[in-house]
Chains A and B, each alone.
Chain A
Amino acid sequence: MTREPLHRALGLTDDEHGAIVERLGREPNRSELAMYSVMWSEHCSYKSSKVHLRTLPTAGPQVLVGPGADAGVVDLGGGQACVFKMESHSHPSAVEPYQGAATGVGGIVRDVLSMGARPVALLDPLRFGPLDDARNRYLFSGVVAGIGGYGNCIGVPTVGGEVKFDASHASNPTIDVMCVGFAAVDALVPARAGKAGSVLVLIGAGTGRDGIGGVSVLASATLDEDAHESRPSVQIGDPFTEKLLIEACLELNRRGLIEGLKDLGGAGLTCAVSEAAAGAGLGADLDLDAVPRREEGMEPFEVLTSESQERMLAIVRPSHLNGVLDVCRKWGLSASPVARFVEGEALRVTGADGVIADVPARSLADEGPEYRRPARPPAWLEDLHGDDPAAAAFDGSMEDAFFAVLGSPNVAGKRWVFEQYDSLVQGATVAGPGGDAAVIRLEGSLKAIAVSADGNGRWCHLDPALGAAHAVAEAARNVATVGARPLAVTNCLNFGNPERPEVMWAFEETVRGMAEACRALGTPVTGGNVSFYNESAASAIRPTPIVGMVGMAEDYRLLVRAAFADAGLAIYVLGRTLPELGGSEFAEAVLGRVSGRPPVLDLAAEARLHELLQRAANEDVLAMAHDCSDGGLAIALAEAAIAGGVGVTASAPDGSMPPHLAWFSESASRAVVAARSGREGAFEVLAVTSGVPFTRIGTTGGSRLTFDGAFDVPLADAIAVFEGTIPRLMSGERVGA
């Protein structure tokens, strides 16, 4: 029996190997093959996705840096910019939840840092299997502890995110993390930088054997039953070093000592050096012996592809080298000149024994393969579409249904999660976790950004294009609900194996729906991440696109919160409520089915709603506003009552609809608002001129939730269910690493 060729063991196909031979005009050596295997992996090269990603809208007057850089950048005016990016760390987290999640935080923070921005906020959209399973509880608690353990220690507040549960995520948790940073526009580090002669200085942690082949072994293949044996491919985080790295890099940039900055993440040194050189249109000489090691006897390919954390690569003019080394010394960080840009295109790696690799930098960074994989809708979709939950008769108790939906782990309060995160450090958190969007103010200004991360697994399962469009609409709505103007999007597209036509079809549909919604709402995509192969022998995840939306408000003092804080306020529902239960929380939690079609989405109506919410906030006529989504009107009202500790008496906007449809329909483009006392008329005029349908449905006050024709329960009972569900499911679970 012949031995498997090395390129296949490294995850390269025979065709890809052939392309490398053709490009080099010879057989690659072992180290070179390792470099191609990581750079041409799905994770680094986007080979299955990039033909589709090109169809996303990426331009707009607000976009300073679009896709292709380490993070996107939007203009906040007044010389200030917001830098942001989302990424997944699902595969490592499935194998080792604490370290997997922790290093996911570290990686995205370095992406924002490489643009020269101070990281100011983190958000974590998470998906797990149901909590009645011990393994899912272990993954959930480990991931949350890992996010907190790392984020808390580097002093970047974790201000938002979302957590949802579904059987498709059992053994395939989806762990996304978004980071937002602020920078002065003229202090942004250019993505393409350096000249021949520029020195590349490796800063931070030593290089060890952790994370060898992380991108190719873990992130670009399906996890099998022996996944725990992949643990050595998971990186280990050191948040203390990351904190020093943040401060040192910001100081280097502030002092004008660097030309460029790259983070070392997936594919390690190979990726950082080849991308930096290709970006500058140059070649590079890399002296591998100059790379500080954490262990003895490392093979050259290990040093080249190690994903050891907490490392950055600074591109430095030779005259500034000493200044760079001084700043790093002050912060107690190792800093080693390891490479130099040279004319030409060759990335030449040398060591004590001579030349280790000599390949065109561009061929690694920019010339990876590109596939248009076959796509086909799944056969089962027709049947699911035919089964509309809204058509089913419901004669159960509305009160029981309310508590079932409110106590669904998807809907129930996530205090158990977000209290493990420091959401306050840096002193800029105007609104932290638990609201529609987190709000972070800009130091020395009244401006603030609003950020939200959203996705809906059931809707994307039933209709990926419409589900993805809804994700964009909901993220933008959340930002508009607090009174901010949605600006731009980052995304994380989490899917199963792209070599399966059903998965590829869902991916194409997702991109199509997302592109349409982003165009209609004027929120271009500035970057993001694709994560494929999120499946195991047991299950594959539903299409899970997550949208991270950044918006801006001119005056954070006018922001509107999602709580009924006072009695006697007039409550309105904005938008139209239709009998739509397809893929709803009610249909799953009460009727036990995920079927039908997602609610219709009229993007023009959605945009009008956002406009109204911003105007109402700017004119200060609202006491409260809350997005109406999961669980419908009943849950939106209950959440606002729970948040403010004030009860509600309300009737359904359309009395002719059966109560379970009226209260639990998840029709899109809706929000619940309460007008400031005495400003009802002003608000109604705004709503009329904005062309947004509105219905006055009730009044705040008392200590009960009285929903006319449906149920009447003590607010305290709702609070107990809302706050108690996750702690009850997690009771007894050991917290921490």
Chain B
Amino acid sequence: MSQGKARVAVVTFPGSLDDRDALRAVATMGGQPIPVWHAESDLDDAEAVILPGGFSYGDYLRTGAIARFARVMDAVGAFAEAGGPVLGICNGFQILCEAGLLPGALIRNRGLAFVCRWVTLRVERPLGRPGGEDRAAIIAAEGDLLGVPIKHGEGQFVAAADRLEEIEAGGRVAFRYCSASGEVDERFNPNGSAHNIAGVFNERGNVLGMMPHPEHAVDPDLGPTGGQAVLQWLLAAARARVPA
């Protein structure tokens, strides 16, 4: 049914903006992109899901607060519950936090202004292929640096102190903002996120939320390609779910 290509659903909510970019990035990286409308109740046999960036429902009320009630989110919740790989990018990350699929919350940037720039991320938790234990299974090792852009007004990751402790202790920090040479420091924190956190996993490790945009960093003609590793992780996790 998958003909070798992982089927990746990209959900479009009213106000999603980077949905077409996510679909294009999935195709670029060798997956089969499946557009899914927010009002649908199933994910069209997808093997992975992307909640893309944008301003779903205009960010009215609170970022992601309305989108989490979209009909498709029941299916996304069930898919994640069953261990399916889910990637939330920017607004998608905000929606996953609102839906309780990821810990913490995203609030207004420390500088109070929208910020669009290329940043460097330090990989904190290795991105690997499921089931693989040798070096070849590692897509991005701890300490690897990824060049990706951010573009958000509300990307400051916050969580209660004990929650933060839990995230750190559980090794669930996916990426931290750092300098071009990998130094993690307040000076390289573009939005004031706690512990420079740019992305987090859920406890099980199948749901990843990140403010930076990997889908905008896969084509070498447009800039750095740090997003490739993230998309490769998603596709590898999806393939692991393809029935033999």
Contacts and interface: CB of A to CB of B under 8 A. Distances in A.
Given A145-B113, A423-B116, A153 B59 contact: yes
B57 A240 contact: yes
B58 A240 contact: yes
A421 B54 CA distance: 13
Given A152-B153, A240-B14, A240-B58, A420 B222 contact: no
Given A419-B113, A425-B17, A425-B18, 12 more contacts: A148-B114, A153-B55, A153-B58, A155-B18, A155-B54, A240-B58, A243-B14, A244-B15, A421-B116, A425-B21, A427-B21, A430-B222
A331 B54 CA distance: 16
Interface in B206-239: 213, 215-216, 219, 221-222
Nearest to A735: B113
Contacts of A244: 14-15
A152 B58 CA distance: 10
A153 B221 CA distance: 25
B151 A424 contact: yes
Interface in B72-119: 111-117
Given A145-B113, A148-B114, A734-B112, A427 B222 contact: yes
B112 A557 contact: no
B152 to A, nearest CB: 9
B24 interface: yes
A332 interface: yes
A39 B60 CA distance: 35
B62 interface: no
Nearest to A332: B14
A736 interface: yes
Nearest to B190: A419
15 contacts: A149-B114, A153-B59, A155-B54, A240-B60, A241-B58, A243-B14, A243-B55, A244-B15, A419-B113, A419-B114, A425-B17, A425-B21, A427-B21, A427-B215, A427-B222
A239 interface: yes
Contact of B17 (A243, A423, A430, A556): A243
A418 B20 CA distance: 23
B149 interface: yes
Contact of B115 (A239, A419, A424): A419
A238 interface: yes
Nearest to B149: A424
A556 B223 CA distance: 13
B90 to A, nearest CB: 10
Contact of A239 (B55, B149, B216, B222): B55
Contact of A424 (B20, B25, B116): B116
Interface residues of A, number: 33
Given A243-B17, A331-B14, A425-B17, A420 B113 contact: yes
A128 B113 CA distance: 20
Nearest to B109: A735
A426 interface: yes
Contacts of A419: 113-117
A425 B149 CA distance: 11
A429 interface: yes
Interface in A203-255: 238-241, 243-244
A422 interface: yes
Contacts of B115: 419-420
Contacts of B153: 152
Interface of B: 14-15, 17-18, 20-21, 24-25, 53-55, 57-60, 111-117, 149, 151, 153, 213, 215-216, 219, 221-222
B151 A152 contact: yes
Contact of B221 (A426, A556, A736): A556
Contact of A426 (B20, B116, B117): B20
Contact of A422 (B15, B57, B116, B222): B116
A221 B92 CA distance: 46
Contacts of A148: 113-114
B112 A735 contact: yes
Contacts of A557: 221
A152 B213 CA distance: 14
A716 B219 CA distance: 31
B219 to A, nearest CB: 8
Contacts of A149: 114
A684 to B, nearest CB: 29
Most chain-A CB neighbours within 10 Å: which of B15, B60, B114?
Answer: B114
A155 B17 contact: yes
Nearest to B216: A424
Contacts of B117: 419
A30 B14 CA distance: 41
A423 B58 CA distance: 18
Nearest to B39: A330
Interface in A1-34: none
Most chain-A CB neighbours within 10 Å: which of B21, B60, B116, B215?
Answer: B116
Interface string A716-737: 0000000000000000001110
B55 to A, nearest CB: 5
Contacts of B59: 153, 240
A425 B24 CA distance: 12
A153 to B, nearest CB: 5
A556 B17 CA distance: 24
A735 B114 CA distance: 9
A639 B25 CA distance: 33
A240 B55 contact: yes
Contacts of B222: 427, 429-430
A421 B20 CA distance: 19
Contacts of A424: 116, 149, 151, 213, 216
Interface in A111-167: 145, 148-149, 152-155
Contacts of B14: 240, 243-244, 331-332
A421 B114 CA distance: 7
B20 A427 contact: yes
Contacts of B53: 425
A152 B114 contact: yes
A643 to B, nearest CB: 14
A734 B215 CA distance: 32
Contacts of A556: 221
Interface string A387-422: 000000000000000000000000000000011111
Contacts of B113: 145, 148, 419-420, 735-736
A148 B55 CA distance: 13
Nearest to B23: A427
Most chain-A CB neighbours within 10 Å: which of B20, B24, B151?
Answer: B151
A241 B58 CA distance: 8
A240 to B, nearest CB: 3
Contacts of A422: 114, 116, 151
A562 B130 CA distance: 44
A418 B219 CA distance: 22
B162 to A, nearest CB: 32
Most chain-B CB neighbours within 10 Å: which of A243, A556, A557?
Answer: A243
A736 B112 contact: yes
Contact of A420 (B17, B58, B116, B216): B116
Contacts of B58: 153, 238-241, 243
A425 B112 contact: no
